[in-house]
Every structure is written in structure tokens, then in C-alpha cells.
Amino acid sequence: MPLLKILSQQKPLFDSARLNGLGVIISAVTVSLAIFAPGHTLKNIDYEEVFAVVERTRPELIALALLVVIISYASLTVCDLFALRRRRVRALSSEADTGSRQQNAARQKARSPVLIPSKPEISTPAN
């Protein structure tokens, strides 16, 4: 059997079903940790002490802390939006450069028999 045909028949190590399953497991673990950790931490908090510290803190410092948190979340959101926009522009430009997805699929189908012959060629030894 030609090597290309053997390689084409092997299943990939990380096919999409395995990756989707792995992603679901990682997401479930992340969500469970995100729920467990704050819940476990909040059990041991003395709320009277927290309110006493907040009352002693100057309002300007609390406002400054809130402003820093708002700015950091806003900057992360803007970075995510730029990344999504860049990804969308790249996808559209690559399709514009190479044609539509249907045209690319048709070209790939036309080339596949050349790369991977469907019937193995049997050569007879020359005497």
C-alpha cells in the first residue's frame, strides 16, 4: 500500500470529538473550582470586621479602587473586541484571496485522487 493511503486512513490523534470532550471536561472543572473556591473562602469571613474596615477607609480610596477595577475590565474588553475583529478580518481576507469555501472544497476534491490513489498500482518486475 502506498504510504500516503496508509497515512490518510489513520485517525488523527486529536480529532474534533476528542477535543470537544476535553473542552467540556476542562470547562466543568473550571466552573466547579470557580464556585467552590469563593464559597469556601466566604465561610470564614467576619463581616463585622469587614464593615468596620470599610467605615474607617476614606471614600476617595474606595472610589479610586473602583475606578481602577473599572478601567482594567474595560481594557480587557477592548482587547478582546480588537482580537475578535482581527480574527474576522483575517477570515474574510483569506476567503477573498483564495475564493469561496465551496470553490476551495471543489479544488481539494479535484486534487485528492492525484495525492492519494484510490487503487494501488501493481507494478510487475521487468525481466
Q: Is the pLDDT of residue 118 over 70?
A: no
Residue 89: CB atoms within 10 A of its CB come to 10
- Report d(CA 80, CA 74) in Å as an integer: 10
Q: Supply 55's cell numbers.
A: 467605615
Q: Is the pLDDT of residue 88 over 80?
A: no
Q: Which helix (H) or strand (E) holds 67?
A: helix 59-98
- Report d(CA 117, CA 112) in Å as an integer: 8
- The residue assigned the cell 465561610 is 43
Overall size of the chain counted in residues? 127
94 and 86 in contact (C-beta within 8 Å)? no
Of 51-60, 78-87, 98-107, the range with the highest mean pLDDT is: 51-60
* Residue range 5-30: mean pLDDT, rounded: 74
Among the listed residues 38, 8, 44, the one whose alpha carbon sits nearest the alpha carbon of residue 118: 8
- The residue assigned the cell 470557580 is 34
Model pLDDT, residue 32 = 94
Q: What is the pTM of this model?
A: 0.41
